[in-house]
Amino acid sequence: MDSYAPPDTPLEILHHDHEILVANKPPGLLSVPGKGADLADCLLARLQAVFPETLLVHRLDRDTSGVMVFALTPHAQRHLGLQFEKRQTRKTYVARVWGRLEPKTGTVDLPLIVDWPNRPRQMVDHQNGRPAVTDWRVVRYEETATRVRLFPKTGRSHQLRVHMLALGHPILGDPFYAEGPAREAPRLMLHAEALRLRHPDGGAGMNFAAKAPF
């Protein structure tokens, strides 16, 4: 993997109240600290510098941008954590994938497991993999790519990246799974566009969104 050079971008807070904090994570920034001092800069640390009580709920890959929710109380962390665990949140991603993805809607249901000798890469494994399901819907066709919305039903590591690869349409700019011209994009073309969840205080449904920067 290339050396870590996190972007020097200001925090973008989408929502802040007494229980939760929602931010738009820039691409190239870790969600949580990695191993070693050189990997300490991350969205969690940047938020804790401003809101010391910030607690982690879920993660996005370093190269993925978009909506992340954090808890500001232990109660909120438990409440949100259970929603993710029980698949009660609704996540929407935007991606640009290589080639012409057809048909215009579909579902990938392929179990995933870590590709141990090549970690953090993941791979499809029908015997030992954990269930992983992604719905897709084409937004539009481009010259050599397809813009698509992805709706993961599960939250496996690298799920969207491996599922698109399995369809023969790797996400543009993916340093792990794309090859040749598909890899040449300036960044991983994957963005967590929207997140729907229930507020930990009262259970009201809330939707947070951040427009894809590509």
> Catalytic positions, please?
61
Instruction: Look at residue 152 and give its three-state secondary structure.
Output: strand
User: What's the CA gap between 106 and 186, in Å, rounded?
Assistant: 28
User: What's the CA gap between 144 and 92, in Å, rounded?
Assistant: 23
Instruction: Look at residue 39 and give its three-state secondary structure.
Output: helix
Could you give phi then psi for residue 127, rounded to 5 degrees?
-85, -50
User: What's the CA gap between 63 and 73, in Å, rounded?
Assistant: 28
205, 192 Cβ separation under 8 angstroms: no
User: What's the CA gap between 91 and 155, in Å, rounded?
Assistant: 10
Nearest 5°: the CA angle 91, 34, 63 is 45
In terms of C-beta distances under 8 Å and separation of at least 24 residues, what long-range contacts does 113-119 make, across chains too? 114/157
67's tokens: 């909506």
